[in-house]
Structure 1
Amino acid sequence: MTKISSKDLGTEPIGKLLVKQAVPASIGILVMSLNILVDTIFVGNWIGSTAIAAINVVLPVSFFIAALGMAIGVGGSSIISRALGANQKGKALKTFGNQLTLTLLFTITFAILGLYFVDTLIPAFGGKGNIFEPAKVYYEIILYGVPVLGFVMMGNNVIRAEGKPKFAMYAMLIPSIGNLVFDYIFINLLDFGMAGAAWATTGSYIVSFLFILWYFLSEHSELKINTSHFRLDKAIVSEIGALGFVTLSRQAVVSVTFLLVNNALYNFGGETSVTAYAIVGRMSMFALFPVFGITQGFIPIAGFNYGAEKYQRVKEVIYTAIKYATVLAAIIFVVLMVFPEFITKWFTTDQAVTEVTPNNMRIAFAAIPVLALQLIGSAYFQAIGKAIPALILTLTRQAIFFIPLLYIMPVFFGEIGIWISFPIADVLATMVTYYFLRRELNTLEKNI
C-alpha cells in the first residue's frame, strides 16, 4: 500500500482531492446515520414508540458531553492542518498531546455532573410522563460511555487532519456496524429493552476507541507524541479553546434546541409530536450525509492550503465544495418531498405518529437546497483559524434565528409554526453566511 502523506493536501488537483477526502467521510457519515436510523427502527419496533421519544430526550445531554471531544478535536485539528501545511511538525505534535489531556479532563468531569443531576435534566429535556423511566435507564448507561465517545470524536478529527480520510471512515464504520450487531443481541435476543439499546451504543464506541488507539500507535499516523506533549501549553490551549468553542457552541445550541422543541411540541401534541420530531431529527442526519461528507472533506484541504499560503487552491476548494454540496442537497430535497410517508413508516406503525410526521417532515426540510453554502461557509472560517466569524455563522442558524422564531411563530400558527421555523431560519442563516464568505473571497483575491 502506498503511504499517504498530509503533503498531498497541497499538491493534488482540487476536484480529485475533494472527492478523495469527501467520499470516505460521506460513507462514514452515511453508515453512522444508517446506524442511528436503524437503531431507532429497532427500538421503535422491538421496544415501542415511547422508547423513540425517550432516546430523543437523552440525546441533548449525551450529545453535548460527547461534543466536548468533537470541539477539542475540531479546534486542535484546524491547528494541526495549518501546522503541517507550514511544516511546523513540533506544533502539530504538541497540539495533539494537549487535545488528549483536555479530552480526558472535560469528558469525565461532565459525565460525572450529568449522572449526578439525572433526575433534574431528564424532565427538563422533555422526559415527562411515560417517557421518564425509559429515558432514565438509557441516559445513565449512555453517560458511562461518554468519555470514550469523546476520545472517538476527537481522534476522528485528528485522523482527518492528517489527510487520512479512509482511516477516519473506518473509525466511523466500526461503531455504526457494531451498534446494530449489539442491538440485535441485547434487545432482540436477550430482551434487555432500553438497557440493551444503551449498552449496544456504549459497547460500539468502546470498539471504535480501540481502533483509533491502534491507528495512532501504528506507522499510519505521523503524530508520534511523547509524555512532554501532554503538558498543557497556554497558547495552544487558548487556540484550541477559541476554535473548539465554535463547535461546542453549535452542539450546545443543538442541545438547547432539542430541549425547547421537545417541550414546545409536548405542550401542543404530547408524546406523538415529540416522537414525530425524533423521526425528523434522525432523517436530518441521514438525509444530509453527502453534504456533511463534503464539508468534512473540505476542512483539512482548506486549512492545509491556507497554512501553506496557497490561496488560489483555497478559493478553488470553496467554490468546488459549494457546487458539489448544492447539487447533492437538491437531489435530497426532491426525495424528502416525494416520499415522507414511506420514510415515516420505517420507524413506526403507530397511526397517530404516521399521520402527523410526513407533512412536518416536508416543512422542516423545505430549505435544504440552500444549506450547502451555509455549512461550507461556516466550516471554512473554522478551518483557517478565524474563530469570531466562525462562531457568528455557527450561531446564526439556530441561536440567532431559530430559537426566537420558535417562540414567535406558534403564537400566530400554533404547532405548525414550530415546524415552519426550521426553513425560515435556514434561509436567513444562509444569507448571513453569503455576506461573510463574499468578503473573505475578496480578501483571498487580493492575496493571490
Structure 2
Amino acid sequence: MATQQQTSDLGTDSIGRLLIKFSIPAIIGMVVNMLYNVVDRIYIGNIPDVGGLAITGVGITMPITQIITGIGMLIGIGTSASISIAFGQKKRKEAQKYLGNGFTSIIMVSIAIALLGNWFVNPILRVFGASDATVPYAAAYMRPLFIGTICNLCAFGLNHSISSDSNPKVSMYTMMIGAAINIILDPIFIFGLRMGIAGAAYATVISQFAASCWVINYFTRSKKSTIKLTLADMKIDLRIIKNIVMIGLAPFCMQVASSIVTVISNRALMTHGGDLAIGAMAIITSISTIFIMPIFGLNQGAQPIMGYNFGAKQYTRVRQTYLYSLAICTAILVVSFLFIQLFPHIAVGMFNNDPELTDITVSGMRIFLLSMPLIGIQMTASNYYQAVGKVKKAMIISLTRQVIFLIPSFIILPKFFGLKGVWYAGPIADLLAVTLSGIIIFKEIGYDKMIASITIKKRVVDHYETV
C-alpha cells in the first residue's frame, strides 16, 4: 500500500511543482477523454447521406448526456474533494469511507438511469426537442448509453478520486485507455459493421467499461493506492452521502443548467434556423469542448492541492494555487480564441462536409465564443470553492452563466435578432458571469493577499518552461 508521503507532499512541495505533477497528467487525460464525444461526432457527421441529420440527432441528446455527466460530477467531485480534505485533516479512514459510499451511490443511480432511460427513451427525446426526422437517430444513440451508465460513472466519477489519492498519472491512464479503445472501435462499428450512429454508442460503452475496470482495479488491487474500496466502507452512511452531495452539488447544478440551456437554445435554433442550426450548435459545442477540456484538467489537478492545504489550514498555499491555475487557464483560452477566430473552417471541417451547415457553424461560432479569453475567471473560481468545500459560493458562481444570464439571453435576444440573437447570447452571458465571479473571488482572496501570492508567480512559469 502507498504511504502517507504521497499526500503530505501536497502541504510541503512547491506549488509550481505540484501543479505540474497533478495538472499536466489531468490535462492530457482530459484532452484524450474529450475524444469520446468528439470522435463520435466526427464520424457521425461524415456518415454518407445522413450525416447532417445524424449529428443533429446527437445534438438533441446532448442535454441528456450532460445530466448524466452532471451526476458523475455530483458523486465524483463530491467524493474526491471530500477525500482531499480528509487527507489534509489526517483522517485516512474517513477518506476511505467517502470512496466506498461514492461507489455505492454510483451503482444505485446507474441502475435507475438504465431502466428509466430505456423505458421512456422516445418521450424523453421529444421533451428535449427531437423532431420526427431526428428521433430515430437520437434513440439509436441513447439506448446503449443508458445501459452503459454504470461504466460511464465509474470511469468518470471515481477517476477524480485517483487524483485525490495523489496518483494523477494513473488517473490520466484511465482516460487514455477509454479514449484509445473508443477511437479504434468507432470506425469499425459505424462503417465496418454498418451499425451507423448506434455503433458509435456501443463503441463508447465498451471503452468506458474498460476504463471503469481499470479504476476499480486501482482501488482494490493496486499497491499504489493509499485507500481501498472495501465492502465494509460501501455500507451507506447518510452523513458521508450528505457531504458528498453538498460538495458535488455545484458542478451537478451547472451540468443540469447546461442541459436546460441546451433545450432552450435548441428550441430557439429550431425556430430561427431549423435542424441545421441545431447541428451547427452541436459542432460549436464540440469545438469549444476541445479547447476548454484542458481547463477542466487544470482544475482537476489544482483541486487536491487546494483541498489538502485548506484542510491543513495552509491558506496562503490555497490562494497561490488558485492564482497560478487562473494565469495558466487564461493563457490557454487566449490561444484557443485566436485559433477559432483565425481558422474556423479548419475546426468545422473535421465534423462536416455540408457547405450550408459549414457556413452556419462558422458564422455562429465566431460570435458565440467571443468572450472565451475571459471565462477562466469563472471556471477557476467555481473550482476553488468546490475544492475548499464552500458549497453555496461554488453553486452561485457555477450557475451565473448557465442560469442567471444565458437562459434569459436565449429567450430574449432571438426575438429581436433571430438566429444571430442565439449566437449573441454566448458572449453577453459570459461577460456578465465573469464580472460577477471576479468580484466574488477577488473579494474572497483579498487584493493585498493576491499581490503577496503573485510575487512568486515567476517560479511556476519557470517550472513549465523547464518541462
Deviation (angstroms), 1:291: 2.1
Which letter maps to 1:33? M
Deviation (angstroms), 1:398: 0.7
Match of 1:222 among 223, 226, 232: 226
Deviation (angstroms), 1:50: 1.2
Match of 2:63 among 52, 60, 71: 60
Q: Secondary structure at the match of 2:350?
A: helix
Deviation (angstroms), 1:173: 1.0
Q: Percent identity?
A: 34
Matched, 1:131 2:134: yes
Asked if 2 retains the 8 angstrom alpha-carbon contact of 1:315 and 1:444, the reply is no
Q: Secondary structure at the match of 1:288?
A: helix
Matched, 1:177 2:189: no
Asked if 2 retains the 8 angstrom alpha-carbon contact of 1:216 and 1:223, the reply is yes
Instruction: State the Cα deviation string for residues 40-97 of structure 1 (Å, max 9, x = none).
Output: 1111113512111111212221331243122111011111001101111111011111
Task: State the alpha-carbon separation in 2 of the partners of residues 35 and 225 from structure 1.
Answer: 27
Structural mapping, 1:335-374, within 5 Å: 335-374=339-378
Match of 1:305 in 2: 309
Matched, 1:155 2:162: no
Match of 2:271 in 1: 267
Matched, 1:249 2:253: yes
Deviation (angstroms), 1:289: 2.6
Instruction: State the Cα deviation string for residues 330-382 of structure 1 (Å, max 9, x = none).
Output: 11111111011221111111111011111111111100111111111011001
Task: State the alpha-carbon separation in 2 of the partners of residues 41 and 97 from structure 1.
Answer: 37
Which letter maps to 2:255? Q
Which letter maps to 1:112? L
Task: State the alpha-carbon separation in 2 of the partners of residues 24 and 225 from structure 1.
Answer: 23
In structure 2, the CA distance between the partners of 1:444 and 1:382, relative to structure 1 (3 Å rule), is farther
Task: State the alpha-carbon separation in 2 of the partners of residues 138 and 294 from structure 1.
Answer: 30
Asked if 1 retains the 8 angstrom alpha-carbon contact of 2:69 and 2:255, the reply is no
Asked if 2 retains the 8 angstrom alpha-carbon contact of 1:363 and 1:423, the reply is yes
Instruction: State the Cα deviation string for residues 130-170 of structure 1 (Å, max 9, x = none).
Output: 11111111111111101221111221111111121111111
Task: State the alpha-carbon separation in 2 of the partners of residues 376 and 421 from structure 1.
Answer: 22
Deviation (angstroms), 1:444: 10
Task: State the alpha-carbon separation in 2 of the partners of residues 443 and 348 from structure 1.
Answer: 47
Task: State the alpha-carbon separation in 2 of the partners of residues 162 and 5 from structure 1.
Answer: 8
Q: TM-score, normalised by structure 1?
A: 0.96
Deviation (angstroms), 1:409: 0.7
Match of 1:281 in 2: 285
Match of 1:27 in 2: 28
Task: State the alpha-carbon separation in 2 of the partners of residues 34 and 229 from structure 1.
Answer: 34
Asked if 2 retains the 8 angstrom alpha-carbon contact of 1:78 and 1:303, the reply is yes
Deviation (angstroms), 1:240: 0.9
Structural mapping, 1:26-425, within 5 Å: 26-47=27-48, 48-217=51-220, 218-425=222-429
Which letter maps to 2:155? V
The number of aligned residues is 446
Instruction: State the Cα deviation string for residues 374-399 of structure 1 (Å, max 9, x = none).
Output: 11101100110111101111111111
Task: State the alpha-carbon separation in 2 of the partners of residues 188 and 370 from structure 1.
Answer: 40
Instruction: State the Cα deviation string for residues 288-328 of structure 1 (Å, max 9, x = none).
Output: 23322211111111111101111111111111111111111
Task: State the alpha-carbon separation in 1 of the partners of residues 70 and 392 from structure 2.
Answer: 19
Which letter maps to 1:239? N
Task: State the alpha-carbon separation in 1 of the partners of residues 46 and 410 from structure 2.
Answer: 31
Q: Secondary structure at the match of 1:129?
A: coil
Match of 2:464 in 1: none
In structure 2, the CA distance between the partners of 1:26 and 1:232, relative to structure 1 (3 Å rule), is same
Deviation (angstroms), 1:39: 2.2
Instruction: State the Cα deviation string for residues 104-133 of structure 1 (Å, max 9, x = none).
Output: 112211332222221211122122131111
Task: State the alpha-carbon separation in 2 of the partners of residues 228 and 353 from structure 1.
Answer: 54
Task: State the alpha-carbon separation in 2 of the partners of residues 107 and 125 from structure 1.
Answer: 21
Q: What residue ranges of structure 2 are gaps of 5+ in the alignment?
A: 454-467
Instruction: State the Cα deviation string for residues 7-34 of structure 1 (Å, max 9, x = none).
Output: 2221211112112211111111111223
In structure 2, the CA distance between the partners of 1:222 and 1:407, relative to structure 1 (3 Å rule), is same
Deviation (angstroms), 1:443: 10
Task: State the alpha-carbon separation in 1 of the partners of residues 345 and 166 from structure 2.
Answer: 40
Which letter maps to 1:24? P
Asked if 2 retains the 8 angstrom alpha-carbon contact of 1:311 and 1:444, the reply is no
Deviation (angstroms), 1:183: 0.6
Report the aligned-residue RMSD: 1.8
Task: State the alpha-carbon separation in 1 of the partners of residues 240 and 448 from structure 2.
Answer: 26
Which letter maps to 1:20? K
Stretch deviating more after TM superposition (55-64 or 243-252): 55-64
Q: What residue ranges of structure 1 are gaps of 5+ in the alignment?
A: none
In structure 2, the CA distance between the partners of 1:306 and 1:244, relative to structure 1 (3 Å rule), is same
